[in-house]
Structure 1
Amino acid sequence: MSHNQTLAPAPAAETGTEPGGRLRGNLSVASIVFIVVAAASPLGVIGGPVPLGIAGGNGTGFPFSFVIATVVLLLFSVGFTQMTRFVPNAGAFYAYIGAGLGRGLGLGAAFAALFAYLALEAGVFGLFGPGLAELVQAYGGPELPWWLWAALGFVIVSIFGYLNIELSGKLLAVLLIAEVAIVLVLDAVVVFSGGGPEGFATGIVTPAQIVSGAPGVGILFAILSFVGFEATAVFRDEAKDPDRTIPRATYISLISIGVFYTLSSWVLISANGESTIVEKATQNPGTLLQSTTEAYLGAAGGHIAQLLFVTSLFACILSFHNIVSRYFFQLGSRGILPASLGTAHPKLGSPASASLLASSVVGVLVVLAVLLRLDPIAQFYTWLGGISSVGVVLLLTLTSIAVLVFFGTKQKGGPRWQRRIAPGLGLLGLLGFLAIILANLPSLVGEEGYGPFSIGVLVLLSAGLVAGPIVAAQRRSLTLD
């Protein structure tokens, strides 16, 4: 099969679906943007990684880390979207890596991506459960174990994942608009009131502040905040005019996230004052956003922020569930996993079987966390977040290499900026990010140095990559391009 042919079977003339059950949907650019931006969990980032980046990273210079991350990921996206027309399928990472570097490594990338996304979907339940428990108690509700609330969220996510993607898209749109709105209202109040107690923060444009403290840690938290934007191509089969929709959705998602993070982290620093923000973020990173919102929007604003923080985590879980389900579906439709996973629901047009498998795996991980009595945040979320962060940046790096190889050997010529210069610069940036994450992985997963879990993360992802060529060698009829 040539590289400019679709991976999916030929459409059935009468039904509009394909043998094997192609996914159905009519997602617009806006719908895909809502899904992938919700995966990035904007409110969750402002309430979580931002205070941590300020406290453990480069302090008042931290917002500039988002600028760096946005630029590098935009450079990555130039080559990624340029290659979209030559890899017209919904395989995302593994399809691009397979087209550029061979089906064996492409298949290995698919396994590694599944590990990364499943880990993150499960891990966020470790934040969602305690967050919902605290919210319910704040309104006089019963004090129940975190995992009961996580189970409630799990059931709802599983139902939405089973149904057509357009329903999830509409729900995510509502949740995303609400969570972004509360932060933008806070931003506007702080800006129009002339800043905080010390006026507007200047660290974002002060070189000495940008490189102060541990800028590498700042970059680490900035990069983790973008995880999810790259999944636009997963929804290709359910998109309207995918050759236009996917590139536009990728750029809009990335730029929107980058601007929002940069602006809102700068406002958060300004609202608290540059001289005290590091101390506040260090002492109370989990409540910094809520306390700041209460200070400027009153108690009602603080309550709304607390509620929307929980719904933001739910939206993040649902988004990653949809992404994982589509990875399982694509692997099933190509005979890599059982064919039943690659069959769409005859009425809903959804990856129903694949969604059930994703729910089962995540459910097992959450149950294991409960049985092992892991702390939901300090251990369960942090450990699985470590797997995800390393996995996603590794896959971004491999995809950049695949883009350069593809345009250098299989589709020569064309615009140099889109096919060589921008992807090359993006690759350099991603290699730097990967080095930073690997250097800080032990602290990310709560270890003093490289210990059992840090090493285990690398072994697991490496095993996924190595398994790809082995499976591909045993099943020579298997095609990814």
Structure 2
Amino acid sequence: MSTFRSSRSGTVAATLARSRLGVPHVLFFVLAAAAPLTVVAGGASTGFAVTGTTAVPMAYLLIAVVMAIFAVGYVAMSRHVVNAGAMYSYVAHGLGRVPGIAAAFVALVAYNAMQIGLYGAFGVVAAEVLAAGGYTAPWWVCALVGWALVAALGLARVDLNGRVLAGLLLAELAVIVGYAVVMLAHPAGGTVDGRALDPGQLLTPGVAAMLVGGIAGFVGVEATTVFAEETRDPRRTVARATYLAVAITGTCYAGSAWAMSVAAGTDKVVEQARQHGTELMFALVSPHLGQSVVDAGRLLFLTSLFAALLAFHNTVARYLFALGREGVLPAALGRTNRRTGAPKLGSLTQSTLAVAVIVAYPAAGLDPITHLFFWLTVTGGLGVLILMTATSLAVIGYFARHRRVESAWRRWIAPGMATTALGGILIGTVTSFGDLLGLPDASPLRWWFPTGYALAALAGVGWALWLRASRPATFGAIGWGADSATAPQAAPSPPVRLSTRV
């Protein structure tokens, strides 16, 4: 197993396993994190019910366009900075080391919230599946079984994780496509209605709320760069996987939401979504499919959650690895398993935090769906949205110093458009965050979660300033990852002062 020695700190840290992932592997990781079946069955139906509009398909298409524009600068940056720290390292290179560490702390909170929150839904859905088979088990017992499987696979070879996710994801996508075909083949009133695809729907009230909630359905797509060090060809693999992930998720979400409106009737889909909730899709296909096929779909809903758990676990472990390797966090986190090449302590740390939360929730009498799944995953989505906005700005900063390496479209036009769009969605998310969580206006919790990210960022700034004063060698290597040895004098440039002049 290869290692590198940092000329600044003198510590030895192992690299991640090289050349084990191709485009399909990375694609499976990020699509699994996005959990398409979970979004289609839960997010789309909830979008109809909560917003009261039929603009859900067009809202998903609009978000996919925003994500594609974001990907232009993001992918361009990945060709020049290859680091498992992904967005943290991009911010360090583009805006400076201090903002980079702030972004790293936000990333750890966000991805842990996404991963751990999913255990609430996994436990409840697993308990329901068992109950249908005549067995009874508390949700937290089911969650712990899922946790044990994720913890074990997190220490295995990354390509093994990719194969597990591939099998689960292909079955998941087959259900999404199959159910959509069935719904379109049996339209309400006997005629396929395309009104839900009218772009004018985007001007109706409630679309802003759909954009805020819908962005969470694409969380995970941005994680392609986290696995760049383990790919055979980072320059091509990351780009292809990112664009394919955006295209597949956008098509699945919009297509399935439109199929629901066709099967239920455009005039009645909101009413039926409020009546059936996350069972809407299954209720629409049940009259036309055998019960065993519908039950298989529900089972794959469970495996969709498991796949997302495993994908986010790997993402968190690699962020911890990147920070440990650079000395920002304890150096032991920057070690890998000698046999599998997996980030050993990073994986174990994430597993330990997750099991502590799973055990604490039933002890505190908290609801696994509302307080664990919904609150934490929405909060995690907010954190990733903050990171994507900061990263788009960092891309502009980085290429302001490297003008000749990419076109103007990749350097500042697309990143500028992405910063504006994501920034607008971010402002809408923060201002309506309490409404997203279903909290009353007077509840202080509506501000506690966004404030948590502000505190995480401030903690990162404080830690970065301490590193700069006390451990300048470590501070100078921030953002370079495995390249610290080969480019000892090439630390990220000072923060760029972006001109406000056009």
TM range (shorter): over 0.9
Q: What amino acid is the match of 1:9?
A: F
Give the number of equivalent residue pairs: 466
8 A contact 1:203–1:210 mirrored in 2: no
Match for 1:34 among 28, 39, 46? 28
User: Partner of 2:75 in structure 1?
Assistant: 81
Partner Cα separation in structure 2 for residue 301 and residue 439 of structure 1: 42
CA deviations on 1:304-328 (whole Å, 9 max, x unpaired) are 1110000000101111000000011
Tell me how far 1:207 sits from its aligned partner: 4.4
8 A contact 1:163–1:352 mirrored in 2: no
8 A contact 1:39–1:228 mirrored in 2: yes
Q: Please state whether the residue corresponding to 1:179 is helix, strand or coil.
A: helix
CA deviations on 1:124-172 (whole Å, 9 max, x unpaired) are 111010100001111122x221100001000000000011111110000
User: Partner of 2:192 in structure 1?
Assistant: 200
Partner Cα separation in structure 1 for residue 279 and residue 109 of structure 2: 30
Partner Cα separation in structure 1 for residue 219 and residue 45 of structure 2: 18
Tell me how far 1:190 sits from its aligned partner: 3.1
8 A contact 1:34–1:172 mirrored in 2: yes
Q: Please state whether the residue corresponding to 1:20 is helix, strand or coil.
A: strand
User: Partner of 1:241 in structure 2?
Assistant: 233
Tell me how far 1:213 sits from its aligned partner: 3.9
User: Partner of 1:60 in structure 2?
Assistant: 54
Q: What amino acid is the match of 1:38?
A: A
Report whether the alignment pairs 1:152 with 2:145: yes
Tell me how far 1:451 sits from its aligned partner: 2.9
Partner Cα separation in structure 2 for residue 403 and residue 444 of structure 1: 30
Partner Cα separation in structure 2 for residue 42 and residue 122 of structure 1: 18
Q: What amino acid is the match of 1:157?
A: V
Tell me how far 1:208 sits from its aligned partner: 4.7
Alignment of 1:72-471 (within 5 A): 72-141=66-135, 143-191=136-184, 193=185, 195-197=187-189, 199-411=191-403, 414-449=406-441, 451-471=443-463
Deviates more, 1:393-402 or 1:53-62: 53-62
User: Aligned pair in 2 of structure 1 residues 23, 414: CA closer, same or farther (>3 Å)?
Assistant: closer
Q: Please state whether the residue corresponding to 2:401 is helix, strand or coil.
A: helix
Q: What amino acid is the match of 1:225?
A: G
CA deviations on 1:36-90 (whole Å, 9 max, x unpaired) are 0000000000111101111112522210001110111111110011111221222
Q: What amino acid is the match of 1:80?
A: Y
Q: Under a length normalisation based on structure 1, what TM-score does the superposition of the two structures give? A: 0.93
Report whether the alignment pairs 1:21 with 2:19: no
Q: Please state whether the residue corresponding to 2:278 is helix, strand or coil.
A: coil
Q: Please state whether the residue corresponding to 2:301 is helix, strand or coil.
A: helix
Deviates more, 1:106-115 or 1:465-474: 465-474
Match for 1:9 among 1, 4, 9? 4
**What is the root-mean-square deviation of aligned Cα atoms in Å?**
1.8
Q: What amino acid is the match of 2:414?
A: A
For structure 1, the residue ranges without an aligned partner over 5 or more in a row are 1-7, 12-17
Partner Cα separation in structure 1 for residue 86 and residue 450 of structure 2: 22
8 A contact 1:126–1:380 mirrored in 2: yes
CA deviations on 1:400-449 (whole Å, 9 max, x unpaired) are 11111111235467411111111111111101111221122102222122
User: Aligned pair in 2 of structure 1 residues 413, 336: CA closer, same or farther (>3 Å)?
Assistant: closer
User: Partner of 2:478 in structure 1?
Assistant: 480
Q: What amino acid is the match of 1:186?
A: Y
Deviates more, 1:291-300 or 1:150-159: 291-300
CA deviations on 1:440-471 (whole Å, 9 max, x unpaired) are 21022221226332222122111111122211
Q: What amino acid is the match of 1:79?
A: G
Q: Please state whether the residue corresponding to 1:9 is helix, strand or coil.
A: strand
For structure 2, the residue ranges without an aligned partner over 5 or more in a row are 480-502
Q: What amino acid is the match of 1:271?
A: A
Partner Cα separation in structure 1 for residue 90 and residue 134 of structure 2: 51
> Which consecutive segments of 4 or more residues in structure 1 shift more than 4 A?
410-413
Q: Please state whether the residue corresponding to 2:54 is helix, strand or coil.
A: helix
User: Aligned pair in 2 of structure 1 residues 125, 119: CA closer, same or farther (>3 Å)?
Assistant: same
8 A contact 1:58–1:212 mirrored in 2: no
